Amino acid sequence: MSSSGRKKSKEKEAHGASSKSKSKSKSGSKPEEQKAPKKLVKFPYRKPELPIMSYESAMELIQQCKAIFEAENSLLEIKSPVIIVGDIHGQYDDLERILTLSRDKDSAAFGINRFLFLGDYVDRGPNSYNCINLLLQLKCRHPKQIGMLRGNHETENINGCYGFLQELKTNFPQRNEGINLWRAYNDMFAYLPLAALVRKRVLCMHGGISEDLKSLDDIRRIKRPIVDVMTHQLAGDLLWSDPLSGIKGYQNNAVRGVSVVFGEQAVNETCQRLGLDYIVRAHQIMFNGYALFANRKLITIFSAPKYCLEKNSKAVVLVLNSKNKISFVFVAPVESKTAGEKIFKRDYKALEYEQVEATNDLKDNKKNDELSEPTRGTSSNNPSMGSSETEKSAKNPK
């Protein structure tokens, strides 16, 4: 046998011995399943060949990430530069494209390998299972570079009605595995951080601000796990509240049936009291991908293009560089390639924050209607799309 052949043989034997050693560490676990949570992940992100992760591997991954989230504070402290991502909602192909933005030399996100996700990873889209697992793998491998906040869909009373549960039951129909996974995910979701502070000047959350938010320590003091976020007013508002132009202070959120809506004055007072430059949130579909509010002190982003089959719906991620300068990077729907390569490339370019026109303010843009749901969801459990009357009216705003 040649020297190269002997070398390969030894490497193969060493690999086999290592695999056997690992398999003995946990009885009943196959070596390839043990490796699955980290096997597919590299950073900077490279597109994986992603099969449906096995039940055993997913359970292991959930427990690993649960421990990481439990060790984190309810208010994450994030450095810049960072790419901030809004709602994903099970749109796996678009999540892949967002993760590869840091390798696009023409993008404002180029070279940035720190991400902050604002929640709503599951429901409505067709691939919630793959989306959440990919993000959890990245979190396990790079816990300091990947920040994950809790969205209102990371609660069992919502993701039990808007597709995630049904998707798990479809993928894992045997021995109640789908339901067991759903319970395990929601048990982990209860430990997710509720907000993030970027560079001590930009506060990020999924929903919005709260009348109970008097200081940043109010968020830091929130104890987790929280199964039902509406049992804690501040936590519930961080996941559920919305801006509404023309009101003073805070009012009950009649559209959603939970939490509050807040006006421009409330945003300005919160920024002044907490020493903030901006507040960044997600939670509402913006047909232009983003919207500004309260003299640009509050920024809403939405990162799922063509959301709920709305063909003209754009998406963005927000890039905050090391000098606290904000840019928006557009993520066009994959199908928009048929509209012309020039348009598709244009949509990928960054739009500097200072160049954003005032017509993209929430109060001025009538097309920036929200897509809301009541706390109990709907009777539909279609993994690709809910079918509430709220959704229908939002798709065809009057």
Output phi, psi for 191, to 5 deg: -100, -5
Which of 89, 153, 206, 283 does the annotation list as catalytic? 153
Residue environment code for 286-325, b if the CB has 16+ CB neighbours within 10 A, otherwise e: bbbbbbbbbeebbbbbbbbbbbbebeebbbbbbbbeeeee
User: Catalytic site residue 153?
Assistant: yes
Higher pLDDT among residues 101 and 244, named by residue? 244
Q: Residue 310 has what pLDDT?
A: 60
Question: Residue 385: what residue type?
Answer: M
pLDDT in the model for residue 51: 56
| Confidence (pLDDT) at 374 | 43
In the chain, what is the greatest distance between 2 CA atoms, to the nearest angstrom? Answer: 83
Structure tokens at 284: 């509402």
- pLDDT the model gives residue 102: 87
Cis peptide before 31 (omega within 30 of 0): no
Q: What is the mean pLDDT of residues 46-64?
A: 80
Pairing assessment for the beta strands 195-198 and 75-78 based on DSSP bridges:
parallel
Q: Which of 49-63, 276-290, 338-352 has the lowest average pLDDT?
A: 338-352
pLDDT band at 382 (very low <50, low <70, confident <90, very high): very low
CA-based R_g, the chain, Å: 22
Q: What is the value of pTM for the model shown?
A: 0.77
pLDDT at 205: 99
Establish whether the linkage from the previous residue to 173 is cis, with ω within 30° of 0.
Answer: no
Asked if 109 contacts 349 with a C-beta cutoff of 8 angstroms, the reply is: no
Q: Burial letters for 115-145: b for 16+ Cβ neighbours within 10 Å, e otherwise?
A: bbbbbbbbbbbbbbbbbbbbbbbbbbebeeb
If one compares 16 and 311, the residue with the highest pLDDT of the two is 311
Would you say domain 55-395 falls under CATH 3.60.21.10? yes
pLDDT of residue 311: 65
